[in-house]
Amino acid sequence: MKKIGVGLLGCGVVGEAVYRGLAENAKAISARCGFQFDVKKIAVNNISKKRVGVSGGLLTKKYMEVVQAPGVDIVVELMGGEEDAFTAVTTALKLKKHVVTANKLLLAKRGEEIFDLAQKAGVKIGFEASVAGAVPVIRTIKEAIASGKIKSVFGIINGTSNFILSSMMERQTTFADALEEAQNLGYAEADPTFDVAGIDAAHKLTILANLAFGTPVKLKDVHIEGIGLLTPDDFIFARQFGRVIKLLATAKNDDGKLDIRVHPAMVPANMPIARIDGVTNAVEVDVSDAGRLMLIGPGAGGDATASAVIADLVDIARDMAHCSSARVSPTGFLPHSRKRLPLKNIDSIKGGYYLRFTVDDKPGVLAKMAGILGDNGISIDSVIQKGRTGGIVPLVILTHEAVEKSVKKAINKIDRLSTSQARTMLIRLEDGL
Amino acid sequence: MKKIGVGLLGCGVVGEAVYRGLAENAKAISARCGFQFDVKKIAVNNISKKRVGVSGGLLTKKYMEVVQAPGVDIVVELMGGEEDAFTAVTTALKLKKHVVTANKLLLAKRGEEIFDLAQKAGVKIGFEASVAGAVPVIRTIKEAIASGKIKSVFGIINGTSNFILSSMMERQTTFADALEEAQNLGYAEADPTFDVAGIDAAHKLTILANLAFGTPVKLKDVHIEGIGLLTPDDFIFARQFGRVIKLLATAKNDDGKLDIRVHPAMVPANMPIARIDGVTNAVEVDVSDAGRLMLIGPGAGGDATASAVIADLVDIARDMAHCSSARVSPTGFLPHSRKRLPLKNIDSIKGGYYLRFTVDDKPGVLAKMAGILGDNGISIDSVIQKGRTGGIVPLVILTHEAVEKSVKKAINKIDRLSTSQARTMLIRLEDGL
């Protein structure tokens, strides 16, 4: 049996699952590709930590030792973070070693340099594990949709926030309670900022948009809003409108302009994406002519992520046996065919809006607000005004299609009224992309 | 721009869509793989038929002329049927030409010979289009799930029958009416036997099981039941049990035995597969450790099928550029690693059952039937007995888990009672594989 040497950088939940998966499924893997993977060295922060089934003799604290070890043909980067990971990955590529990484932050921030280096070195950079865990969305976009033009790619690609939103939708809990529950269950980290602020989803979306549209995308191109400001009221109103709230990551090629954003959206409850609950991930790709594909599966977890890492290793083995590591370019497009799409400004997008105003419960308030909306060319689809109790009440308006800039202008004006008692909550409606 | 010569066998809905797709998306395709595809020759039955945008000079009635034409590097077989298609495909492979086919019947019946020939010739046989149209299920099973062991693969892989079942579920129409509607809309053929009898789904399932489990599968290994005997009553009762009826294709590796079947199944209405309506296809793959992946998309139609054909062409181009056509074996497994799994007999499967008896509306009938079920070790989960009108009435029983052999034995006995007035309808419950 031919053997391929693997070096692991990082041996946390995913690293251990990769190590275990390669051992336990060695027979199934070689039945498919004719190779066995031999983990030669593992870089970890804490050498003395007990790791079930991992041979202590493989461990080192120095990641460059792993990268440079002569027996290591493929470097699997699971360290996370930016600087050290970048050094490790680029050193490996320069040594003409193949790289597999699950590091979406690294690719979102430094992807262009890394892809370019891999292309020049003629080696492979596998990153299926960086988006949506076991769901083969990278492979699908790079290889299965080679035929047509992709119009849009969108989905739920952050399990933590989707778990929190599912709880809030189901039980109308507060964000803080839902977050605490997610943390207790191990679905959210102690510092959940990346997940709940939409940053993790934005990292992943830059990768997907890059592959879908053949365009370099920077993290700062993405309009990002998190889920932290949503209240139980928003979920109650959503239900009354037959909708649910999801943190959607969407990227569209809008007539040659890139419309790319991550934000909470209200989607019809009968849309397939509305039914993706808990930590499951789902990505939908709309392809000209062919139609819409949807891929659903476990978006996180050691075993699911490890399965994507191992699929990339098998891919590399198949390429190593045929000297074809360059057969698919890192982005799926030939470098000279890629071009930077201009960005669509968020102010210029059009759509329906859910607006939750917080107002004094007084006669004439709605008339005044409706007037301001009308003055800005925004027509009202429906209104929910809570029972008259006096005091401060929520007042919810769903608009027909309107231009975002006008909506924001109207909200600004309404928020300055003496009868408005809090900043208005705006949630975009998404009725299918 | 480097060019690759393509020969088309067949120019119906799919063939025309491939021809058009290659022309219209030529730029997008070469941006990905660096090649242009040049359709050199097209074999058709009727040369004088008008084909929009297809140059008449390319047409010939002789398919072997296309296969053998020196400029044709890849043969795209869209003729359908068995004998001529087999001759065309095997001749092409022997000439060391790559082949792309959408012909599931051909692969279900003669796949082993064809895969073997492709392997020996060192050329590629692409067949993504043979199952689930644009949904990249072949690629996903062969390449993305290279890591673990597949426990089961199941899904809705015949759009025609799913369209009919969706209509029957929604509007409680008869099978005949739903079929006629499907025919009027172009979703069912004049002779719908292959689709409604489950044969088309069985063809596709043999292909999926072959790739999932690394085992040769023959069409006759599949237990097949169609949807033609379902009545509006069955859908009404299904709804009362919170279930829907789907024609499921399922293949399981049950402790080393292959359990492979196509039949109507009652699934809980909240299961993801229950929500796949109309001509959409969905395939779920359960992978040890990694979890369940589900792929959903348009399962038929010219453009969707053409998109899968073109993705295979791009794949071949990428391989031709790197001499790596053999990098993934036709079945995804190395030939010597495949072995024939023994079959699980349908009589030995266990599960819940929906049984619709047709009985005289007399006292004591239920007691008698329940007695027979009990004697055979079958316990009852729920019973629906329609209002007492005298005459002949349906009586429906949902069983707890039971062995199929015992269920059939009990039904046989019950059907011979003088109070039984028609053959009992049996539908298997499927609560998640």
Per-residue pLDDT of chain B (433 residues; tens, 9 = 90+): 789 999 999 999 999 999 999 999 999 999 999 999 999 999 999 998 888 788 889 999 999 999 999 999 999 999 999 999 999 999 999 999 999 999 999 999 999 999 999 999 999 999 999 999 999 999 999 999 977 789 999 999 999 999 999 999 999 999 999 999 999 998 999 999 999 999 999 999 999 999 999 999 999 999 999 999 999 999 999 999 999 999 999 999 999 999 999 999 999 998 889 999 999 999 999 998 889 999 999 988 899 999 999 999 999 999 999 988 889 999 999 999 999 999 999 999 999 999 999 999 988 999 999 999 999 999 999 999 876 667 899 999 999 999 999 999 999 999 999 999 999 999 999 987 5
Active site residue A104: no
- A-chain CB neighbours of B326 within 8 Å are 322
What's phi and psi for A425, nearest 5 deg?
Answer: -90, 125
Among A4, A32, A305, A341, which would you mutate to test the B interface (most chain B Cβ atoms within 10 Å of its Cβ)? A32
CATH of A149-296, one of 3.40.50.720, 3.30.360.10, 3.50.50.60, 3.90.226.10: 3.30.360.10
Task: List Cα–Cα distances, A9 to A44, A64, A89, A102, A227, in angstroms.
Answer: 7, 9, 10, 11, 32
The answer to whether the beta carbons of residues B100 and B129 sit under 8 Å apart is: yes
Candidates 3.40.50.300, 3.40.50.2300, 3.30.70.260, 2.60.120.590; CATH matching B347-429? 3.30.70.260
Residues of B with Cβ-Cβ distance to A1 under 8 angstroms: none
**B145-298: CATH topology:** Dihydrodipicolinate Reductase; domain 2 (3.30.360)
CB–CB of B293 and A295 under 8 A? yes
Query: Residue ranges per domain, chain B?
Result: 2-133+302-337, 145-298, 347-429
Partner-chain residue, chosen from B32, B139, B333, that has the shortest CB–CB distance to A332: B32
Residue of A nearest to B138 (CA): A144
Q: B147, A31: Cβ pair inside 8 Å?
A: no
CA A292 to chain B, closest CA, distance in angstroms equals 6
- DSSP annotation of A385 reads E
Contact A149 B291 (CB under 8 A): no
CB contact under 8 A, A291 and B334: no
Q: Which residues in chain A are contacts of B296 at CB distance < 8 A?
A: 272, 293-296
Q: What is the third-level CATH fold of A346-429? A: Alpha-Beta Plaits (3.30.70)
DSSP A129: G
* Nearest by Cα to B106 from B86, B129, B126: B86
Query: CA B224, CA B250: separation in Å to the nearest integer?
Result: 11
| Chain B, nearest residue to A133 by Cα | B290
> pLDDT of chain A along its 433 residues, tens only?
789 999 999 999 999 999 999 999 999 999 999 999 999 999 999 998 888 788 889 999 999 999 999 999 999 999 999 999 999 999 999 999 999 999 999 999 999 999 999 999 999 999 999 999 999 999 999 999 977 789 999 999 999 999 999 999 999 999 999 999 999 998 999 999 999 999 999 999 999 999 999 999 999 999 999 999 999 999 999 999 999 999 999 999 999 999 999 999 999 998 889 999 999 999 999 998 889 999 999 988 899 999 999 999 999 999 999 888 889 999 999 999 999 999 999 999 999 999 999 999 988 999 999 999 999 999 999 999 876 667 899 999 999 999 999 999 999 999 999 999 999 999 999 987 5
Reference B196, options B152, B247, B134, B155; nearest CA is B247
Angstrom distance (rounded) from CA B26 to CA A149:
11
**pLDDT, tens digit, for every residue of A121-176?**
999 999 999 999 999 999 999 999 977 789 999 999 999 999 999 999 999 999 99
Question: What is the per-residue pLDDT across A237-250, written as a single tens digit (0 to 9) for each?
Answer: 999 999 999 999 99
CA distance A341 to A253: 9
Q: Which of B131, B147, B170 would best serve as a mutation to test chain A binding (most A beta carbons within 10 A)?
A: B147
User: Which residue of chain A has the CA closest to B145?
Assistant: A311
The pLDDT, as a whole number, for residue A387 is: 65
- What is the least distance, in Å, from the CA of A218 to any CA of chain B? 21
Nearest CA in chain B to A132: B293
Is B297–A291 a contact, with Cβ atoms under 8 angstroms apart? yes
Say yes or no for a CB contact (<8 Å) between A294 and B295.
Answer: yes
Spell out which residues of chain B touch residue A333, defining contact as CB-CB under 8 Å. 31-32
Which candidate in A153, A310, A327 is best for mutational testing of the B interface (most B CBs within 10 A)?
A327
Q: How large is the ipTM?
A: 0.94
pLDDT, residue B387, reads: 66
Q: How far is B273 from chain A (nearest CA, A)?
A: 11
Tokens of B432: 């998640």
- HEC secondary structure over chain B: CEEEEEEEECCCHHHHHHHHHHHHCHHHHHHHHCEEEEEEEEECCCCCCCCCCCCHHHEECCHHHHHHCCCCCEEEECCCCCHHHHHHHHHHHHCCCEEEECCHHHHHHHHHHHHHHHHHHCCCEECHHHCCCCCCHHHHHHHHCCCCCEEEEEEECCHHHHHHHHHHHHHCCCHHHHHHHHHHCCCCCCCCHHHHCCHHHHHHHHHHHHHHHCCCCCHHHCEECCCCCCCHHHHHHHHHCCEEEEEEEEEEEECCEEEEEEEEEEEECCCHHHHCCCCEEEEEEEECCCEEEEEEEECCCHHHHHHHHHHHHHHHHHHHCCCCCCCCCCCCCCHHHCCCCCECCHHHCEECEEEEEEEECCCCHHHHHHHHHHHCCCCEEEEEECCCCCCEEEEEEEECCEEHHHHHHHHHHHHCCCCEEEEEEEEEECCCC
- The answer to whether the CB atoms of A21 and B148 lie below 8 A apart is yes
Q: Dihedrals φ, ψ of A197, to 5°?
A: -90, 0
Question: CB-hemisphere CA count at 13 Å for A292?
Answer: 15
CB-facing half-sphere around the CA of B316: CA atoms within 13 A:
30
CATH of B2-133+302-337, one of 2.30.40.10, 3.40.50.720, 3.40.30.10, 3.20.20.70: 3.40.50.720
**Contact assessment for residue B288 and residue B174, using Cβ atoms and an 8 Å cutoff:** no
Instruction: Specify the length of chain A in residues.
Output: 433
Tokens of B66: 């296309």
Residue B365 and residue B395 in contact, taking contact as beta carbons nearer than 8 Å:
yes
B272: which chain A residues are within 8 Å (Cβ-Cβ)?
A: 275, 296
Residue of B31, B293, B310 with shortest CB distance to A214: B31
* Own/partner long-range contacts of A182-190 (Cβ < 8 Å, ≥24 apart): A187/A159, A187/A160, A187/A163, A187/A279, A188/A160, A188/A163, A188/A164, A189/A160
B328 vs A contacts (CB less than 8 Å): 318
Residue A295's contacts (CB-CB under 8 Å, 6 or more residues apart) are: A132, A135, A136, A137, A140, A282, A283, A284, A285, B293, B294, B295, B296
Q: Is A128 in contact with B136 (Cβ distance < 8 A)?
A: no
Indicate the residue of B315, B333, B337 with minimum beta-carbon distance to A143: B315
User: How many contacts, defined by CB atoms under 8 Å, are there between A and B?
Assistant: 209
Chain A residues within 8 A of B34 when measuring between CB atoms = 334
Q: Which listed residue (B97, B204, B252, B344) is catalytic? A: B204
